[in-house]
Structure 1
Amino acid sequence: MTDKYVALPQGRSERDLDAAIKKFTAILGEQHVLTKAEHLAPYMKVMMAVDEKQHAPSAVLLASTVEEVQAIVRVCNEHRIPVWTISTGRNFGYGSAAPGERGQVVLDLRRMNKILHIDPELCTALVEPGVTYQQLYDYIQEHKLPLMLSFPAPSAIAGPLGNTMDRGVGYTPYGEHFLMQCGMEVVLADGQVLRTGMGSIPGDKAWQVFKWGYGPTLDGMFTQSNYGICTKMGFWLMPKPPVFKPFAISFDNEADIGAIVDMLRPLRIAQVIPNAVVIAGTLWEAGGANVRRSDYIKTPGATPKEVIEQIKKDKGLGAWNVYAALYGTQEQVDVNWKIISQVVQASGKGRLITAEEAGGTQPFKYRAELMSGVPNLQEFGLYNWRGGGGSMWFAPVSQARGSECDKQVQLATRILNKHGLDYVGEFIVGWRDMHHVIDVLYDRSNPEETKRANACFHELLDEFEKQGYGVYRVNTAFQERVAKTYGPVKRDVERRIKRALDPNGILAPGKSGIRI
């Protein structure tokens, strides 16, 4: 730390940063260049089990136009200043808003918050990075548009551009967000602006309806990478169906998880159930219902099974709690509901619960809202389970097969309990894949527990990798570790692309383990 700055970029002196800050201020104005500790505090608060100082920014830049972003990257090139870009959310569980490495300048695009276009007939949208799902939802409601959004659980404060760029997922039939993306505008490291797909043709009207354009399709290259800064993104919106029928299936036995997935997979592949199916464990659901561990037990360490059983009884939760929905006309919904009811009945496992039976109780209410495109923040109740502000999401991906499930749950539970932590997890069954999302919750105010959480996350990565499971996203403290999992050839190709597009390595060095 210097007298003037909280941190300095790696390899840069105070004089180097002074020169860059002077030019950033000329571009943005003094009020939009933040360097004081009190102004940087929101960008330093991490939930990872590492020292916050490791992720302290040197400054924050609040750009409002593409031209400002272009000017900023040119200054960064001139003075070799690394810049870490964020948009609307705080990326809880995956690293927060802090930069990937100490001293990087944060480029915050929240002021670029225009909804540029929505077409209610073609069901498309074009937005800037600062647009939140709540803002978009309010716009759709205000203009009475017959459209439905898809978003991740922390929906109100997150945004479609940022979530899609990190390949996040949602809970409607349009829940594979990158699949529904169509057209990007990207500022490259040299300040040039690239429009993908049909966007490079002057006057073209098909930018948000035809993904591919001509030649190589480049959009995916800019997701989970540091090859450019996305300043506009198009995506498809789902037409609002005349009938929406959310439902749950409750299972009392932990050992049923394999049978649940094998029962649901054919229904997902055939699109009888058109949205991603959530299979949430007891403690995940307890968190969503704002249950605190301290309400039941005061002693540290892993929560005993008998306590979890008591929570199940008190809150009416299953060992596994399935959430899905049907969409369409009344005739379509009735036919598919009959199929689902027969499949569940034939399995001899699980109890179907409709919205009428659940009433307005949590967690059914917020799950139904997510599946119907109504934003909320209910799932943040997870962070009250242990308290203390520690959260790291561990998210291995596998085939949607029942045989994958029980061994994953047992392996994860054993590792978590070994480190005095709880299994708080859910499976999300896609078309053919399955995300196993585990929230490693711990008390960051307790140094000893924080140390254990860090060791736990390392062990989860190591042991799941030995079983052939890789994660699809990870917090910034573990980016390099996860990148190694995917092997040297992939990493070499990524480095070659990085050197070609960003020879000075100014854009988010280390993002997804990619460097020049």
Structure 2
Amino acid sequence: MGEVPGPDRPHVQEVKPVSEITSPSVSIREPSLSDTLARFAAAAIQTLGPDKVDGPANDLLSDTLHREPADHVILRPGSTADVQAALELARSHGQSVHPYSTGRNWGYGTSYPADDRTRVLLDLSGMNRILAFDATLGIVTVEPGVRQGDLAAFLADRGAPFITPTTGAGPSPSLIGNALERGYGLTPIGDHFGAIMGIEAVLADGTVYRSPFMPEAPDGPQPVYKYGTGPYIDGVFSQAGNAVVTRMTLRLAPKPQRIETFYFIVRDDAHLEACIDAIRYMLLESGMPISGINFVNGSRMQAQVGGNGTMSVAKWFGTGVLFGDKEMVKASRACVRRALKGLVRRVFFLNEDRLALARKAYGVLRKTGRGAALEPFLVNSENLLGILGGQPSEFGMPLAYAKNPGGMPDKGLDPARDGCGLLWYVPIVPMRGEDARRYANMVGRICGKYGFDDMITFSSLSPTAFDSTVPLIFDPTKEGSANAMACLRDLIEEGRREGFHPYRYHGRTMDLATACQPTFWDTAARVKSALDPDHLISPGRYTAPNDAA
């Protein structure tokens, strides 16, 4: 027994070892992701204002691929200073951010980040000012939210004789977003990244980078020379997550006296190699003022315009664009015909004068009830000539709705919002007949394996290279999306073994993008680490998976 405490002996309670103590378990609740995002959103409202913050919510984003619901917060900065504040706020709350211009990157991930752990988005569409325009040189400075349609309207209002750099994605995509992704078109300046004269960008630490000749003031003298002085650095902000671009100066092409398209139909697939060689001759050797040529297989053409009439027998269909004064364009017609002699029955040429005659013929035929056959030709020709002249159009976008025709609105098309399934395979193919044949055979074999049509387009990027676009169109269910992504990954891997490397990648395939050329990607990772050591901006975007952690 223990001793009885006395007046000179205080009572001392026996202390048990910790291992012998039994007490009710106490759980310490870790903050959930929802709690963390809610606190971040509250802080963002205090910093940026309630009109510039959405979420957290799990229905803020849409895509052309099935995605499981996930909470996101969208910040909508209105200025470069807002972007700086947003980055500092994200850093202080341990959040990474993914910026996008207008969120129209359909088929490549739309506005979703490459890394699912990134839950904060910077929507730059509210930064939509055209800051400066030189009406003599055709130099324009824009913010990320300026769309192709905005610039086209701006130029039209001023009667400015310059061409908006259009694509086939309609009027709503961002000029800056498309240029940074190295988009292209058939207008005279087809390389949209090549048209960049200078940029302004906010680095991860809040520093504002500007190209050597880019003025600090938005309305200052615009750069007229792309490279400036010293190392060319602007390229590290293309297809990368190294900064948030907030301003860009672009060079526009002047409108020529004549824009003329030519069409030709190839009825025998055996002529593929010879046609590719003829296209290369026209672009590389002939000296003709051709801005570009699209060469489309029958499967793609029928999906685009239907399979009735002449198109039902087309194995390949070509479209080229001539720019210049009337005499130069007229002289080029004979050269085009000679290049394609023996391969096609006829080459069709179309310009505004001939289109006006077609409109008159349509008006007469419509009165007699016989205009229906001419109407599709007239509509498609008007839209194509409009795009080539700098007027963006949605006429090519219904292709994305092939599995969802009931979801297509009359205008304002948005395949992600409207529930379409779409992925793009976009490799570079050398402009040689034998390479085009190997490529077409490979695409047909792999697409058939997964149940897709091999809808192939060869678009000239230069006199020596095509970008081929192959759309995978599907029902965006979980199963349909998985099958489409498996097909895309198979195309990428097999294509690279054949020497056909994509010029850009979907956000879900960044592991494939960085799986070859290790020295190149290690160098890119070093640049990323130098500019953004904490991977604050778009982690996982064009970086190897282990570099994005």
Between the two proteins, the alignment pairs up a number of residues equal to 477
Of 464-473 and 384-393, more deviation after overlay is shown by 384-393
SS for the counterpart of 1:231 is strand
User: Aligned to 2:139, which of 110, 124, 129?
Assistant: 124
Q: Is 1:398–1:433's contact at 8 Å kept on the other side of the alignment?
A: yes
SS for the counterpart of 1:440 is strand
Aligned to 1:305: none
User: Aligned to 1:134, which of 149, 156, 181?
Assistant: 149
User: Aligned to 1:318, which of 306, 314, 321?
Assistant: 314
Aligned to 1:459: 490
User: Aligned to 1:441, which of 452, 456, 473?
Assistant: 473
Residues 1:32 and 2:46 aligned together: no
Residues 1:352 and 2:370 aligned together: no
Q: Is 1:287–1:381's contact at 8 Å kept on the other side of the alignment?
A: no
Superposed displacement of residue 395, structure 1: 0.7
Aligned to 2:522: 492
User: Aligned to 2:108, which of 72, 94, 98?
Assistant: 94
What is the rounded CA distance, in whole Å, between the counterparts of 1:263 and 1:336 in structure 2? Answer: 14
Flag the 1:250–1:12 CA change in 2: closer, same or farther, 3 A.
farther
Q: Is 1:278–1:429's contact at 8 Å kept on the other side of the alignment?
A: yes
For residues 47-100 of structure 1, the C-alpha deviation after alignment (integer angstroms, 9 at most, x for no partner) is 23xx4128x452111111100001111112222211111112421111112222
Q: Is 2:73–2:119's contact at 8 Å kept on the other side of the alignment?
A: yes
Structure possessing the higher radius of gyration over alpha carbons: 2
Residues 1:333 and 2:333 aligned together: no
Flag the 1:507–1:112 CA change in 2: closer, same or farther, 3 A.
same
Flag the 1:273–1:483 CA change in 2: closer, same or farther, 3 A.
farther
Q: Is 2:196–2:249's contact at 8 Å kept on the other side of the alignment?
A: yes
TM-score (norm 1): 0.87
For residues 422-460 of structure 1, the C-alpha deviation after alignment (integer angstroms, 9 at most, x for no partner) is 111200123221111101111223x44333222211211
Give 1:184's aligned amino acid. Answer: I
Aligned to 1:41: 59
Unpaired runs of at least 5, structure 2: 1-30, 359-373, 405-418
For residues 370-413 of structure 1, the C-alpha deviation after alignment (integer angstroms, 9 at most, x for no partner) is 22222101111112323362111001102211111111111111
SS for the counterpart of 2:59 is helix
Q: Is 1:197–1:207's contact at 8 Å kept on the other side of the alignment?
A: no
Aligned to 1:251: 266
Aligned to 1:269: 284
Aligned to 2:92: 78
What is the rounded CA distance, in whole Å, between the counterparts of 2:240 and 2:268 in structure 1? Answer: 41
What is the rounded CA distance, in whole Å, between the counterparts of 1:350 and 1:217 in structure 2? Answer: 48
Aligned to 2:37: 17
What is the rounded CA distance, in whole Å, between the counterparts of 1:421 and 1:316 in structure 2? Answer: 19
Aligned to 1:368: 385
Give 2:470's aligned amino acid. Answer: I
What is the rounded CA distance, in whole Å, between the counterparts of 1:482 and 1:317 in structure 2? Answer: 38
Flag the 1:205–1:110 CA change in 2: closer, same or farther, 3 A.
closer
What is the rounded CA distance, in whole Å, between the counterparts of 2:349 and 2:227 in structure 1? Answer: 41
Flag the 1:321–1:181 CA change in 2: closer, same or farther, 3 A.
same
1:129-278 equivalences under 5 Å are 129-199=144-214, 207-270=222-285, 271-278=287-294
Q: Is 2:300–2:455's contact at 8 Å kept on the other side of the alignment?
A: yes
Q: Percent identity?
A: 25
Give 1:34's aligned amino acid. Answer: D
Of 80-89 and 223-232, more deviation after overlay is shown by 80-89
Of 181-190 and 473-482, more deviation after overlay is shown by 473-482
Q: Is 2:302–2:312's contact at 8 Å kept on the other side of the alignment?
A: no
Flag the 1:333–1:221 CA change in 2: closer, same or farther, 3 A.
same
Aligned to 1:284: 300
Residues 1:380 and 2:375 aligned together: no
For residues 332-370 of structure 1, the C-alpha deviation after alignment (integer angstroms, 9 at most, x for no partner) is 11122221122223x443531222488743544433332
What is the rounded CA distance, in whole Å, between the counterparts of 2:196 and 2:328 in structure 1? Answer: 27
Flag the 1:128–1:70 CA change in 2: closer, same or farther, 3 A.
same
